[in-house]
Structure 1
Amino acid sequence: TDSELSVSILGSYSARGNHLCSQVSEVARKTAEGEFPSMEDMAVAERTLLDMRALIREMQQELVRAQERKKEQEQEEQRRKEEQVQAQQEAKRKAEQAAKEKAQRKGLQNSAEDSTMKWYKELQNSAARCAQAIQQLQSPKDAQTKKLKLELQKAATIPVSQISTNSGSQLREIFDKIDKLLSGRPVVSGGRSVSTSQHPQALEFISYKLAEKFVKQGEEEVASHHEAAFPIAVVASGIWELHPQVGDLILAHLHRSCPYAVPHYPPMKDGTPVEEYQRILGYRVNDSGVEGQDSFLKRMSGMIRLYAAVIQLRWPFGSRQGAAPHGLNHGWRWLAQMLNMEPLADITATLLFDFLEVCGHALMKQYQGQFWKLILLLTHEYFPRIEAVTSSGQMGSVIRLRKFLETSLQNRQISQPKGQLSSTFWRS
């Protein structure tokens, strides 16, 4: 403290001060006893007082210097403490980062990468804006608009429901009809001429309904008939390339119906009702309750199979050069991120099998050695994690995946998926 500092400094000057005081006190004693001080005594006293003033000045200066030294020491100490705190914080940050990286290497994440989640949210926001923009057509107030809504909806969705493997020429007709509608040209639907020029929101409405229908076909048609994925996917991919907004809406609808296609395992937030959370996870919830697990897995399977077909296909009659609008690189990203996330019982094994059965061959051809490294990682490190979270009643999907992986590694080959469209089909 300042008082302790003052005492330590005064101590060093006390001897000199006492000596000067004794000189003055001698003169003062003589005067008190009635003696008149001599000129020499007066000179000594005056010199002593001057020395005393100089001593006091020196003491004050020394005190200021000591206070400055103490302040510098305190600042230095504070600096050292701050550096120590910074070093501790940096060490903590590095430890946390190392733990995070270790967890990532072990596949302990519970969500996709930040960039993937940002992309997912942007697609959802864009779809929500589109839904808001078509509100007038979606919820018409007058009879004329209601009629137009139905005509536009049928013109968009009926061609998609007619997609099949009957013939290549029929598929081309369906594709051309959808493309014409999205390009603003009139098409005949239900015996009537329909065009997006009939309403300012018509193009966005048709894009939204078309994307919704493609996903619905995956959820229902592909879920029941796996080979249906290819004709639906090739039309969707071709439309996506010519009309990118439809592609973004397909992804948004797909992610909403099947968040595992992101891949995303939505966490349960505080206060969310159980039934609402089930709906977020992709389950159908109605008055009779939540759908059964078999029905849920079948629908998710259909949508993942459709997605796995879309990323490897392009419309064979397109004239555009360059990369596909949503190609195999997205399949590689999906697979890599799935293997970097903690598996869920039933759903993870089911979707990995479906995905690899449909586009494993295409990924193998594209990524070759890197692909096999990923398959080995899945087999030796990730598969035991899937087994660890799987109960005895859920082993069907796990057994299918194990058999697929064993066969693929033994043959060093993944077979082409059933249902691929051949050149013969396109000539029919």
Structure 2
Amino acid sequence: MSEIIELKNTPKGRLQYSPFLNTNKLKLQLEQLSPPPLSRLHEERESSKLNLSFGLDPAEFHVSTPNTSTDFNDNFTYILDKSSNKTVHFSSIKGSSFHGIDIKFDTSKEDTLDIFGSPPSSGGRNVLNKMAIRSSSSCPVSPEFGYTSCAIIDADKKYSLLAQISLSKRHSEFEHHNRSLNYLMDNKEREMKSRIALQVDHRQSQIDKKLQEGVEEGYKRRQRLKDDHEEHLKKINIKHKEIERKREVLQEEERQRKEKILKLQGLWKDIDNNRQSYAQRHDNFIHKASLPELVDKYRAVLERICINLAAQVQAAEDNPNLGELINKFEEDKDKSYRALSFLDKQIGETEQKLRADEDKQKEIERKKAEKAEDDKIQHAAVAQDLAVQSLVYVLKDYEAKSKELAQVETAIRPFIENAQNKSFRFSIQRAVNTPINAISDYSGPHLMDKLKKLRDLLQGNVASLSGNNRTGNVTPEVLLFCQNLVAKMLVKKGEEQVTSKHESAFPIGTVVVALWQEFPIVGELFLAHLQSLCPYVLPMYPTRQTGQSSLDYHKSLGYKVSEDGTIEEQDKFLRRMSGLMRLYCSCMVAHLPPGVSSPHPHGLDNAWKWLARTMNLEPHPDVTAALIHDVLSVTGHSLFKEYRIQFAKLLYLVYKNYIPKLESVSVTNAAVERLKIFLDSAVQNSSIPPPEGLLSANFFFKQPDPV
């Protein structure tokens, strides 16, 4: 074992083999080194075989050996080139003195080469001899050493040769494969071009087919669009014709409407001309006193008809029932002609009567009898006209109240114009205004206190008010002045306060009724002043007289006119009329003070009478609807309790028969719509809620609320 280690540590043992080592350099190193004799130490191993030592595959070359277990020391022949039939023959080196093996080279053939590429007779022996000489001179060397080194060198050359042969072979195979691949690639390319050409043709045919289908589909779609367009054009033409026809119909309707409006205006002018002719003939007739009363009634009826028709003409633009309105105007026109004919007839008959000779007294008496009979018949016909009856009653009441107020103002004028009574008159005014301005529903005792002060004043207790030490006995003028002043100031307070605060009407109405019951003249003067400001409490709708200015006419209707001639606005006028009407209605539902057993001086029957008269008259634009709503709001609850089913019938008549009349003359629909909603609720519920602020029967015992 130590010998092996020593051999490995020798210079040769430290050499590293490389197949790429230069042969000359290897030879020089081998010559300088003297390896130990390895044959004495170990036998030749299988790893020293040529084919295994150099990593050569026996399948790559042909080796001819005499034995199956060919070793490096055995003979073998390697064919270098099959085309030249050159081989390398190795003779067994057995037979030498070492292990009994003789080393020989087979030189029987001329083309045989040794492992160094030279004839074995010269170069081989010289090398061996030299190696043997060096070995004997330095150290013991194995007889096989020289042959092993030569075998290594020869094997290296063979390996390089085999590598070149293998490379040449692989190069030829590569070229063969390259040619095969080029051939295959050419075939594949031709097949691919053919396949692509077929695909292109197929794709082009599909594209042509789809294009043709698209063209056909486009043609069909264009044809459908053309058909749809033609059909749509037909429909549009039909619609245009229909629109044109409707436009012509509308134009015709508008033309007819304008013609109807012009006809209405013409009818109204004819009726107004007949009214003016009637008034002119009646005024110019000297013996008016000889004419029957029916002539005056017809004149009043004509005035009322003209006012109503004027309002309807103004609202004709918004009236959808012009045909009915024309028929009504024609009827009124016929009535005006009949009235004018009647006046002419009466004038002619009266003149004929006056020209008759006294000798024909009997004939005159007969004509008078005939006239009386005619008057009786016509009076009966007029009695059937409720509007005329209502107008007669209203005019009678209006004239009576106006006359009474004029008489009172005439009676107190000396007292007012007397300068000596100025301070006394101011004291009375202050004594009246103070309690009236303090009237409220604060408490029952508070209201009774104000009532007591006014009652004392109306009873003549004015001595303490004067600074002239008057006695307790006052003149009738002073007493009448106090009564008129109280009535006037109560109306003025209602006009100023109730207009903005409706519930304040009830304490004022309670004071009015209490004074009215004790001092009837105060109630009459209250109504007179009230109707001078609001003629609709009667109800009365003044007509415009011939030659009457617009300002005077509006004053007669209740409008306020300023000094510069500005007429009160419609909204303010309606609110003021509403406040005065609520004050009037509050008197009807007010309770008398405790301890008074006499009947109510102006009870609920007046509310019924006002509604009946209003329904018998033609409505006035806007104001009639607003005032009916005020009357029903204040007195409706009490009227339901008093008259029950009869009042429900009256409300139904107002809703069914009178509301259309209000709508036909309405300028603004707000008042009529408010009334319709109120009546609809009242008719459906058969009740009307009590008005807000109404004083109960025991209010006079009510104490003020604690602060």
- State the TM-score bracket (shorter-chain normalisation): 0.7 to 0.9
Deviations along 1:325-366, whole A, 9 cap, x unmatched? 111111111111001100011100000001100011111111
| More displaced stretch, 191-200 vs 255-264 | 191-200
Looking at both structures, which has the greater relative contact order when contacts are Cα pairs under 8 Å and sequence separation is at least 6?
A: 1
Matched, 1:414 2:706: no
Q: Tell me what 1:180 maps to.
A: 456
Please, which moves more after superposition, 350-359 or 156-165? Answer: 156-165
Equivalences for residues 8-407 of structure 1 within 5 A: 94=377, 97-98=380-381, 100=382, 103-104=385-386, 109=387, 112-142=390-420, 145-186=421-462, 197=473, 199-288=475-564, 289-321=566-598, 323-391=599-667, 394-407=668-681
Q: Which amino acid aligns with 2:489?
A: K
1:95–1:203: structure 2 CA closer, same or farther, 3 Å change rule?
closer
Change (3 A) 1:233 1:191: farther
Q: Any conservation in 1 of the 2:634–2:691 contact (CA below 8 Å)?
A: yes
- Answer whether contact 2:401 2:527 (CA < 8 A) is retained: yes
Shift of 1:312: 1.8
Instruction: State which drifts further: 225-234 or 413-422.
Output: 413-422
Report the counterpart of residue 69 of structure 1 in structure 2. Answer: none
Answer whether contact 1:111 1:341 (CA < 8 A) is retained: no
Task: State the distance in 2 between where 1:352 and 1:134 align.
Answer: 36
Aligned to 2:234: none
Greater CA radius of gyration, 1 or 2?
2
**Structure 1 unaligned blocks of 5 or more:** 1-78
Sort the Cα spacing of 1:102 and 1:134 in 2 relative to 1 into closer, same or farther, 3 A. Answer: closer
User: Could you tell me which residue of structure 1 aligns to residue 210 of structure 2?
Assistant: none
SS across alignment from 2:669:
helix
Rounded Cα–Cα distance in structure 2 between residues aligned with 1:151 and 1:200: 17
CA distances 1:199-248 after superposition (whole Å, capped 9, x unpaired): 55211001111101111122111111000010000010000000011011
Q: CA deviation at 1:158?
A: 2.1
SS in 2 for 1:290: coil
Distance 1:424 1:253, change over 3 A: closer
Determine the C-alpha separation between the residues in 2 that align with 1:178 and 1:161.
12
- 1:152/1:194 contact within 8 Å kept: no
1:45 corresponding residue in structure 2: none
Q: Does 1:427 align with 2:706?
A: no
* TM-score w.r.t. length of structure 1: 0.72
Per-residue deviation, residues 287-338 of structure 1 (Å, max 9, x unmatched): 23111011111111011101111012232224233x2111111111111100
Matches of 1:187 and 1:384, distance apart in 2:
58
Relative to structure 1, the CA distance from residue 265 to residue 318 in structure 2 (aligned partners, 3 Å threshold; closer, same or farther) is farther
Structure 1 Cα separation of the partners of residues 470 and 490 of structure 2: 20
Tell whether the 8 Å contact from 1:154 to 1:189 is kept in structure 2 after alignment: no
Counterpart Cα distance in 1 of 2:571 and 2:415: 36
Determine if contact 1:262/1:334 at 8 Å carries over to the other structure.
Answer: yes
Aligned length: 337
8 Å CA contact retained: 1:111, 1:264: no
Verify the 8 A CA contact 1:185 1:195 in the aligned structure 2: no
Inter-partner Cα distance in structure 1 for 2:443 and 2:463? 21
Q: 2: distance between equivalents of 1:179 and 1:263?
A: 30
What residue is the counterpart of 1:60 in the other structure? none
Distance 1:161 1:94, change over 3 A: same
> What is the CA–CA distance in structure 1 between the aligned matches of 2:463 and 2:508, rounded to whole Å?
20
Answer yes or no: is the 8 Å Cα contact 2:593–2:700 preserved in 1. no
Q: Post-superposition shift, 1:91? A: 7.9
CA distance in structure 1 between the aligned counterparts of 2:501 and 2:434, rounded to whole angstroms: 19
Give distance in 2, aligned partners of 1:216 and 1:196. 29
Q: Tell me if the contact between 1:297 and 1:350 (Cα under 8 Å) persists in the aligned partners.
A: yes
Q: Counterparts of 1:90 and 1:199 in 2: how far apart (Å)?
A: 53
Letter in 2 for 1:379: Y
2:601 and 2:583 map into 1 onto residues whose CA distance is: 16
Q: Structure 2 CA distance, aligned partners of 1:265 and 1:116?
A: 10
- Output the CA distance in 2 between the equivalents of 1:424 and 1:247: 22
Which deviates more from structure 2 when the two are superposed, residues 414-423 or residues 198-207?
198-207
Identity over aligned pairs, percent:
35
Question: Structure 1 residues 96, 202: CA separation in 2 closer, same or farther (over 3 Å shift)?
Answer: closer
Instruction: Check 1:301–1:187 CA distance in 2 against 1; reply closer, same or farther (3 A cut).
Output: farther
- Of 249-258 and 115-124, the range deviating more from structure 2: 115-124
SS at match of 1:376: helix
TM-score, length-normalised on structure 2?
Answer: 0.45
Residue 267 of structure 1: CA displacement? 1.2
